[in-house]
Amino acid sequence: MKNYFTQNWKVWAGFGLAAVLLFAVAPAVLSDFRLNLLGKFLCFGMVAVGIGLAWGRGGMLTLGQGVFFGLGAYIMAMHLKVADAAFRGDDVPDFMQIAGIRELPAYWQPFASPVVTVLGILVLPTLLAVLLGLGVFKRKVKGAYFAILSQALAAAFAILLIGQQSTGGSNGLNRFRGFFGLALNDPVNRRMLFFVAAATLLVLVAITRQLMYSRYGELLVAVRDQEERVRFLGYDPANVKVAAFAVAALFASVAGALFVPIVGIISPADVGIVPSIAFLIGVAIGGRSTLLGPVLGAVAVAWAQTSLSESFPSGWTYAQGLLFIVVVGFFPAGLAGILSALKARRTRAESTAPPVKNDDAPTPIGATS
């Protein structure tokens, strides 16, 4: 055990530093509004962690993560709306009363239970990803075809939500008052939500690191680089891909579930094609093949979007597209890849440097000067 901690001291130091920044520094220097905004960005970082595993290690260009993010978010939102209605003594949420719906839809009723809600957030998106992955990867669909298929799924999901009055239509679900018995208008509870998001992100990063550096992680990279060789060795590449795809879906669902109480709204605009591409842009900029690159890239892009869109509302979209083109075209490994390349170049330079001659060293006996 002691040897394990000695060999991984850098990893533990990194997690310790992240914990100090998130749990001590951020609450001390940020206002309640900015801290809540950072919690929103951390949710995007959770999605990015899963994309980094599926895309960076598995080579699956997942353009439909908005579907799984939306599933987790809407399941949580339905529970919160039902709980708010029960607290007021109503049979249906407020927006349903306005729309003339007098009875709670059948698919809403199970999510009145907190236990069923949590299980639904963890199981339903993961099960959907497994079924979708088996149907796609067993047929050897990959590359651009898989990307287009996942993007079409995100578009269809957003269109479906817009046409449903029972999920708020294009307005979505909002105005949540409580979160598992806690009042969301209480600053203490909102700060607690930030801590929950920060702890969840650290746990997801730790799980992803374990997967990346395990035997499964090596097999996933092998499937990405030489799928036919892996099949020749007796492994089924489809099963390997499905596992990574399901893990990414699970992470996105958890992020969506935490996004709802932190931000206070979920709508089709948050789960369609544009958000799915935005998730991918952050991962690409940060470095999809690294562990922390996707998280830092997603948080940085979200922060830049919020900051720049306040000053240049119409210019952020163009800046985001230009940044994505520059990174993909000239730095395909992302910003983290640039740092790794500089470090490798420095290591090569040091290893190939000629030995330094020490003029003060004594001349061996018999040697000519």
Q: Where would I find the beta strands (DSSP E) of the chain?
A: 173-174, 178-179, 182-183, 265-266
Q: How confident is the model over 170-224, as pLDDT tens digits?
A: 889 999 999 988 899 899 999 999 999 999 999 999 999 999 989 999 999 999 9
- CA–CA separation, 344 and 325 (whole Å): 25
Strands 173-174 and 265-266: antiparallel
pLDDT in the model for residue 305 = 81
Closest CA to 237 of 247, 226, 223, 248: 223
Confirm if 132 and 249 have CB atoms less than 8 A apart: no
Confirm if 44 and 297 have CB atoms less than 8 A apart: no
Q: How far is CA 230 from CA 38, 180, 182, 227, in A?
A: 41, 46, 50, 5
Would you write out the chain's pLDDT as a tens digit for each of its 369 residues? Answer: 455 445 577 778 888 899 999 999 999 999 999 999 999 999 999 999 999 999 989 989 888 899 999 999 999 999 999 999 988 888 889 888 887 888 898 899 999 999 999 999 999 999 999 999 999 999 888 888 888 888 888 888 888 888 888 888 888 999 999 998 889 989 999 999 999 999 999 999 999 999 998 999 999 999 998 888 988 888 899 999 999 999 999 999 999 999 999 999 999 988 888 888 888 888 888 888 888 888 988 898 888 888 776 666 666 677 777 777 777 677 666 766 666 666 666 666 666 656 555 555 555 555 554
- CA–CA separation, 134 and 153 (whole Å): 15
How many Cβ atoms sit within 10 Å of the Cβ of residue 275?
A: 20
How many Cβ atoms sit within 10 Å of the Cβ of residue 127?
A: 12
pLDDT in the model for residue 4 = 45
- CA–CA separation, 355 and 219 (whole Å): 41
Q: How many angstroms separate the most distant Cα atoms in the chain?
A: 106
Tokens standing for 84?
Answer: 């708010």
Tokens standing for 178?
Answer: 């409580």
pLDDT in the model for residue 341 = 61
Confirm if 70 and 160 have CB atoms less than 8 A apart: no
- CA–CA separation, 21 and 17 (whole Å): 6
pLDDT in the model for residue 345 = 66
pLDDT in the model for residue 351 = 65
Closest CA to 207 of 238, 246, 262, 150: 246
Helix orientation angle between 32-51 and 187-212, rounded to the nearest 10 degrees = 20
pLDDT in the model for residue 369 = 45
- CA–CA separation, 153 and 185 (whole Å): 35
Half-sphere exposure of 27 (CA within 13 A, CB side): 14
Sign of torsion, CA 271 277 278 279?
positive
* Amino acid found at 304: A
* pTM, entire model: 0.88
How many Cβ atoms sit within 10 Å of the Cβ of residue 163?
A: 10
pLDDT in the model for residue 337 = 64
